Each structure stands twice: as C-alpha cells, then as structure tokens.
Amino acid sequence: MRAVLQRVSQARVDIAGETVGQCGPGLMILICAMQGDTEKTAGKLAAKVSKIRIFKDDQGKMNRSISDIGGSALVVSQFTLSADTSRGNRPGFSGAAAPEDGDRLYRHFAACLRDLGIPVETGEFGADMQVSLTNDGPVTIWLDQDNG
C-alpha cells in the first residue's frame, strides 16, 4: 500500500458540494492499495502511521505521533498514487489493486487506525471528491508498505 501523509491543522473532503469527512489537527492521509496487498499490509501501514513522529514536541522538534497529540485523521482513497510514469507522458495505473480489493483494503486501513484509538473520517471510494486542507509546516511524508 502507498500513502501520503500530510500534517494538517484541518482537512475536509466534499462530494457534490456536501462535506462527507473532515478532521481537525492531525493527518490527511491519501491511500492506495496496490496489487498483491492484503489486510495484513493495511494493518502494518496503519500501525506505522499511528506511530510516525511528525508532530512537534514542546521544544518544536518532530518527536510526537498522532496518537501522542490526540489528533484525528481524514483518510481518502487515491488510486493515482499507483501512477507509473516510466513510459511516455501518460501515467499508467495498472499497479493499483482491482477496485473491489482497493475499496476493501481502504476500509480496512481506516478501521485499523480506529482500532488504534485514532478518530477517523473518510471520503467515498471511487467518488469524484474535492479535498481541501491546511498543511501544517508544511509536512508531507510518503510511505510505501510492502505487500503481505
């Protein structure tokens, strides 16, 4: 699975002008299930996300996790993270998991974060979404969790 984490002061996802998910201070997480990914992959990535220390401590150093700060997360599926740009100028997305697997693993990832005590809201898999956020820092981290 692939994820882009953005440390945010706020984030929101809208569909057809209606807000379907939002978070306050915490993480905006764009997530893509890749071919061969499993529930185990999603669980490992959720555990990593819950522990990654990208929030400031009292000395201003990135030394705290989303769990440490009591933050929340907005998780949005984004199959374009699977983009292969190695041939020509039009990205290919064949590395992404099939839609039914992608949806299942996206939901499982969000559930794993919830099970770790992180408040989570989500977008809608496969929908045309508008995402807005205020990146805090800015801090943006890319994670790639191996299959299985």
**Is the residue at 93 inside a domain?**
no
Residue 127 lies in a domain: yes
126 located within any domain: yes
Q: Does the structure show a pLDDT above 70 at 102?
A: yes
Active site residue 38: no
Its pTM surpasses 0.85:
yes
CATH assignment of the domain containing 34: 3.50.80.10
Marked catalytic residue, from 79, 109, 122, 145? 79
64-92 burial string, b = 16+ CB within 10 Å, else e? bbbbeeebbbbbbbbbebbeeeeeeeeee
Residue 98 lies in a domain: no
pLDDT given at position 147: 63
Tell whether 94 is covered by a domain: no
pLDDT value of residue 145: 82
What digits encode the pLDDT tens for the residues 11-60? 999 999 999 999 999 999 999 999 999 999 999 999 999 999 999 999 99
**Contact, 3 vs 45, CB < 8 A?**
yes
Is 10 among the residues known to form the active site? Answer: no
Quote the pLDDT of residue 92: 93
Domain membership flag for residue 95: no
Place of tokens 């800015």: 138
Euclidean distance between CA atoms 119 and 69, whole angstroms: 12
Q: Which amino acid is at 31?
A: I
- From CA 88, how far away is CA 2, in angstroms rounded? 22
Structural domain total, the chain: 1
Whether 78 is catalytic: yes
Express each pLDDT in 117-128 by its tens digit.
999 999 999 999
Q: Is residue 83 part of a domain?
A: yes
Residue 138 corresponds to which tokens in the numbers above?
């800015």
pLDDT, mean of residues 97-125: 97
Q: Whole domain around residue 108: which residue ranges?
A: 2-88+104-144
